[in-house]
Structure 1
Amino acid sequence: MTISRRLTEKLRTKGWSEGELSRRSGVPQPTINRIMSGESQSPRRPNVEKLAKALTVSPEWLLFGGPLDSNVEPGPAMKGRVPLISWVQAGDWSSQAEVRSHMNPEDWLPCPVSHGPRSYALRVRGESMYNPNGRQSFREGDLIYVDPDRRAINGSLVVVKIDGSQESTFKKLIIEGDERYLKALNPAWPNPIIPMDETVTICGVAIFKGEPL
């Protein structure tokens, strides 16, 4: 669930309009509208805190789907900011230092866990990693944080680039002896196993999705 969905859910529960939330929070209505429409996927932290206070929820819940209650102990301190990039960029991120340095500040998101200097965030696409009965599950639009410098081990959730494909993909790494595979978490996914060979490059390991991975 994205921040726009969580915000929409709370407004529906309270019976508030965007204007009412703006009046109670002090956040301009156009800003609220951009968040709710999905146009602004990385709102500024001060605005998130104002919205959370007005809705009596925690900022972590709005941002990441963390604890809902605003009175619970605060979550982990932010460890810095990482850029929100595309799946095409993720496939060649290590060589895009110049692109990173010129990205708009609004494209940078706070990361709640320790991470390497080349880390980035992605929005999950598709349903291949959705497992309704599993502990690990990722829906379309979920935000994941990826560290290219984290070592991939058996069971790691990895972003990989396959030769001949323009975009990267997201799968679970399975290592059995000398064999390595990529696995979709969705039990109904066609062809859920992809053997790894020299055409597959691991671009990073997912480290956070509203909770440590």
Structure 2
Amino acid sequence: MDIGQSIRKARKAKGWTLEELSHRVETDTGNLSRLERGKQFASKELLSRIMVVLGIELSQIQDAGMSNVQMALQPSRAPKEYPLISWVIAGGWAESSDNFHPGDAEEWLPSTENAGDHGFWLDVRGDSMTCNGNPSFPEGSRILVQPEADVISGKYYVVKLLDSGESTFKQYIEDAGLKYLRPLNPNYRTIQINGNCQFIGRVIDTKMTGL
């Protein structure tokens, strides 16, 4: 049994769909499907998250003839630096990113996540994405945004509201054919959307500040 089959067996044992597991380990269903079919290797970080969520022990994989699993993993990506920009700039990023120059940002922050050529960091404003659970994005924490990312229900996005011109950070939810931008803080209202917004990018990494 290879690693993909081991993951699929453990997922099925919990009664989870690919979508449920992808949400729990913060990847997309396509990645997991290819991994389970042996068409794609997992990074060390992703494999570790999958094993924790599914309750798979490394010894179980080794007992299944997978003692060389670490050798099959892709090497960890070297950190790449992305600019920390303002929300004003972020609001027009889709139109202006090609005109962005290194001197336009005072600070560049590293990440091992691949946010593409036009990735950028933002400081979280307010407490609408703060909660008692995980993840939580308190005010002042930083989020890495990947522009031109696929829009997937349950993931987190920076979105420009076309009616007001305001940019906001929320969780995107599809439910019963309707689409919403949901804050994690229950004291804020969920926003129903119907094409009156522009997805600037998906949040793929975060950093805490002031620790």
Instruction: Provide the rounded CA distance (Å) in 1 between the counterparts of 2:204 and 2:134.
Output: 15
Instruction: Provide the rounded CA distance (Å) in 2 between the counterparts of 1:125 and 1:105.
Output: 18
The count of corresponding residues between Structure 1 and Structure 2 is: 133
- Residue 144 of structure 2 corresponds to 145
Match of 1:206 among 198, 203, 206: 203
Establish whether residue 80 from structure 1 lines up as the match of residue 80 from structure 2: yes
How far off is 1:198 after superposition? 2.1
Change (3 A) 1:103 1:165: farther
User: What SS does structure 2 have at the residue aligned with 1:185?
Assistant: coil
Contact in 2 for aligned 1:116/1:150 (Cα 8 Å): no
How far off is 1:118 after superposition? 1.2
How far off is 1:176 after superposition? 1.6
Instruction: Provide the rounded CA distance (Å) in 2 between the counterparts of 1:164 and 1:154.
Output: 22
- State the Cα deviation string for residues 137-176 of structure 1 (Å, max 9, x = none): 1111101000012212010111000124343100000012
- Residue 157 of structure 1 corresponds to 156
Instruction: Provide the rounded CA distance (Å) in 1 between the counterparts of 2:191 and 2:175.
Output: 14
- Residue 190 of structure 2 corresponds to 193
Contact in 2 for aligned 1:94/1:118 (Cα 8 Å): no
Instruction: Provide the rounded CA distance (Å) in 1 between the counterparts of 2:169 and 2:80.
Output: 24
- Residue 172 of structure 1 corresponds to 171
Instruction: Provide the rounded CA distance (Å) in 1 between the counterparts of 2:78 and 2:143.
Output: 15
Two-structure CA RMSD over aligned residues (Å): 2.0
Instruction: Provide the rounded CA distance (Å) in 1 between the counterparts of 2:183 and 2:84.
Output: 23
How far off is 1:104 after superposition? 4.5
- Give the gaps of 5 or more residues in structure 1: 1-75
Contact in 1 for aligned 2:123/2:141 (Cα 8 Å): yes
- Residue 183 of structure 2 corresponds to 184
- Residue 89 of structure 1 corresponds to 89
- Residue 43 of structure 2 corresponds to none
User: What SS does structure 2 have at the residue aligned with 1:154?
Assistant: coil
Deviates more, 1:100-109 or 1:194-203: 100-109
- Residue 125 of structure 1 corresponds to 125
- Residue 101 of structure 1 corresponds to 101
